[in-house]
Amino acid sequence: MERPTGRTHGTPPPRLLPWPSPDGNPCYLVTDDNGSYLSRLADEWEAVQLATGTDVLGLARKVLDDPASPYTEVRFAGLRLAECLTDALRVGQSRGMRVPVPDAMDFEAGED
């Protein structure tokens, strides 16, 4: 998907939502209202996903720092970390797609 430029006046690009469809495909929201119910729900969901990742990382470090941790605990920690990383990457991708790219004219005019 192509990133928007800073001066487009059309419809904003679709927003990648922080949850997949039932069959695992990406879900997108097309709206020009960032304050809509679904936009706010996605914002809240992203915040929960990132907070969960922080919590899981803290707990996983304890397991991974202990050389006596049982294999099953290490494996469980790794699986949860992979889930949280998947969520965090989706949040980053979604937010990155919504950051406007400045027009070439902005650079020529010396705008920041």
pTM: 0.76
Angle 37-65/71-97 helices, nearest 10 degrees?
150
What is the mean pLDDT of the segment spanning 73-94? 97
Pair 95, 16: CB distance under 8 Å: no
Strands 15-20 and 26-29 come out as antiparallel
Q: What is the CA radius of gyration of the chain?
A: 19
Q: What is the mean pLDDT of the chain?
A: 87
DSSP 31: -
E strands, 1-112, are 15-20, 26-29
